[in-house]
Structure 1
Amino acid sequence: MAAGFFQPEGRRLSKAAVTALMLPFFSVIALVFLWPLLSLLSLSVLEPEPTLAHYQRAIDNPVYARVLWRTLVIALWVSAVSLLLAFPVALLMARSEGPKLAFITACILLPFWSSVLVRTAAWSVLLQRKGLINEGMQGIGLTAEPLKLLYTQGAVVVAMVHVLMPFMVLPIYGALRNIPADYARAAAICGAPPWRGFLHVTLPLALPGVIGGFILVFLTALGYFITPSLLGSPKEMMISTLISQQIREHLDWPFAAALVGLLTLFVTAITLVFSRLFGFDRMLGGRK
């Protein structure tokens, strides 16, 4: 019977074996994700009666369109800044070995030992008017009085970059680690300076990891809640904060469900576009 789970060459699992192994995973996904999501989305079209009025309200009101646009802009900023900071770190990791690599990896993974709430609260302490950053700038003469750093879009972007940057570093590191060192040496032998070898050899080969990290951080940032809620102001409200407000303050579950539906459609469309352009295996740092 066990032989039926393997292909004739006896080395690879058959489709039946793969299905049996993946069935528990997909069952959990259906139970804890798909079913609650579908139940919530049903409220947007069935409460108080079958209607699309909640979606029409979300689309017609320019306030909600601005919130969605602001969410997109902040997610793009977070992804771009994370990429600029993460690539040098990933490159250093790929060129390091032994204790040096272990130390850098520990620094990247150390934030996972504390919750997002703790890290966000730490930023609120640093960015307040009498916080360490304002006092430091005043101490060295950069500013004459405290700046408003907290409850701004910049505070939200900085804190989200701090939280999400490891998700950018690891895919890029995986892609860079798979590039043979002989390629760079071959480029140098052919007369290419280091910067040209990097632009024409290393960067194109690392692009799958860059794409994977970017889309992972971008999609996560679109639905982020804790950091924008604690560090942002109503003027910098993101879609997740708006959804929470509709549920907790207005008790408007159908409209909140409509906002969730729009966000889900938006994220799904972006994912399909990236999948169409690059393929899921390349998005995750794999090879075609």
Structure 2
Amino acid sequence: MTTTPAEPVTPAGPTVPGEPAAVAEPRRRRRAAAGWVLLPAVAVLLVFFFYPLATIVWSSFTEPTVGLANYTALFTDGVSVTVLLRTLRTALIVALVALVVAYPYAYAMTRVSRRTRAVLTVLVLLPFWTSVMARNFAWYLLEQRDGLIDRFFSLFGIDGVVLLGSVTGVTVAMVQVMLPFMVLPLYSNLSSIDLRLMDAATSLGASRPKAFARVYLPLSLPGVVSGFSLVFIVTLGFFVTPALLGTPQQSLVSQVIETRVGDLLDFPGAGAMGSVLLAVTLVVLFAVSRIAKPTAALNQAVDRA
């Protein structure tokens, strides 16, 4: 009489269909360990970011009375809407100009030698090694009356070109400050594009401009959208440059919020304006998540080629 050995008892079923339990268990442990590693960062964000943000938004709806009084006053006082529109327009212009300047620069970084690319990268990173205050004070000296910009235009018979205290002067300075934030995402994207696709398009009869517009540009769209959205969002809440180079008559949202908090002690009104700015930022981020799809851009470029 023979007996068959008993089959070993396996642990609980795997998390993935068809995956052995010996593989699933270590995977669950790694996920649990990753969760514990992320816990301190999540706690810091909750305490120092989300809690103050939630407090500001809550006070905008509950002080001095519960309701939308702060938001109603925001859109009917005749000043806040003008400031919001000026801020959105300035941020849009800064992002567009930075994109026009940064795109050829980032493209050149992908076509030069390794040594030249290192030099170009250092030039991009150099502003990060300089204080923002120092850079803005440098622009203060350049844009004031009898500054370098005024003297340059006076050589051509154009006198009185004083950018200090104007939205134009603030825009020019912010473009220079924000330029690295545009170049780096663009270069990261453009460096991953296979340039042989351009050669393939030209070998099939397309001209260089047409190959660039139909193949290279769609592939670079994720980098364009990422850099544009980053510069646009940061510019919306930028404070140092408008405060030093602008004027109260041409103030942006950050200056108005500072005035309401520091001078008028209008915390609910400042919270309402900050909440509107946050809503605009969330809308931009949502649009970026819908537009910046590298796989879709790659498929379209391949189909066109």
Q: Same fold (TM over 0.5)?
A: yes
C-alpha separation between the residues in 2 aligned to 1:7 and 1:83?
47
Larger mean CA deviation between 269-278 and 238-247 belongs to 269-278
Count of residues in Structure 1 that have an aligned counterpart in Structure 2: 278
Partner of 1:45: 61
Find out whether 1:109 has 2:122 as its counterpart: no
Percent of pairs identical after alignment?
A: 38
C-alpha separation between the residues in 2 aligned to 1:126 and 1:7?
64
Check conservation: 2:226, 2:288, Cα contact below 8 A. Answer: no
C-alpha separation between the residues in 2 aligned to 1:206 and 1:11?
36
C-alpha separation between the residues in 2 aligned to 1:187 and 1:272?
33
Check conservation: 2:221, 2:292, Cα contact below 8 A. Answer: no
Larger mean CA deviation between 156-165 and 255-264 belongs to 255-264
From 174, 181, 193, the equivalent of 1:160 is 174
Partner of 1:190: 204
What SS class does the counterpart of residue 178 from structure 1 fall into? coil
Check conservation: 2:91, 2:235, Cα contact below 8 A. Answer: yes
C-alpha separation between the residues in 1 aligned to 2:243 and 2:123?
27
Larger mean CA deviation between 229-238 and 160-169 belongs to 229-238
Check conservation: 1:7, 1:13, Cα contact below 8 A. Answer: no
**Structure 1 277/26 Cα, relative in aligned 2: closer, same or farther at 3 Å?**
same
C-alpha separation between the residues in 2 aligned to 1:34 and 1:26?
10
Distance apart, 1:268 and its partner CA? 1.5
Check conservation: 2:153, 2:161, Cα contact below 8 A. Answer: no
Find out whether 1:60 has 2:72 as its counterpart: no
Equivalent position amino acid for 1:116 in 2: V
Find out whether 1:98 has 2:107 as its counterpart: no
**Structure 1 20/88 Cα, relative in aligned 2: closer, same or farther at 3 Å?**
same
Partner of 1:211: 225
Equivalent position amino acid for 2:141 in 1: V
Distance apart, 1:14 and its partner CA? 5.5
Gaps of 5+ in 1: none
**Structure 1 85/235 Cα, relative in aligned 2: closer, same or farther at 3 Å?**
same
From 141, 148, 153, the equivalent of 1:137 is 153
Equivalent position amino acid for 1:152 in 2: S
Partner of 2:279: 265
C-alpha separation between the residues in 1 aligned to 2:109 and 2:145?
36
Check conservation: 2:174, 2:241, Cα contact below 8 A. Answer: yes
Check conservation: 1:153, 1:232, Cα contact below 8 A. Answer: yes
Distance apart, 1:106 and its partner CA? 0.3
Larger mean CA deviation between 250-259 and 264-273 belongs to 264-273
What SS class does the counterpart of residue 62 from structure 1 fall into? coil
Distance apart, 1:55 and its partner CA? 1.6
Check conservation: 1:167, 1:216, Cα contact below 8 A. Answer: yes
Which contiguous aligned blocks of 4+ residues in structure 1 show a shift greater than 6 angstroms? Answer: 9-13
C-alpha separation between the residues in 1 aligned to 2:292 and 2:33?
28
Partner of 1:238: 252
* Cα-Cα RMSD: 2.6
**Structure 1 241/7 Cα, relative in aligned 2: closer, same or farther at 3 Å?**
farther
**TM-score after normalising by structure 1:** 0.88
What SS class does the counterpart of residue 30 from structure 1 fall into? helix
What SS class does the counterpart of residue 67 from structure 1 fall into? helix
From 107, 112, 126, the equivalent of 2:142 is 126
Equivalent position amino acid for 1:155 in 2: G
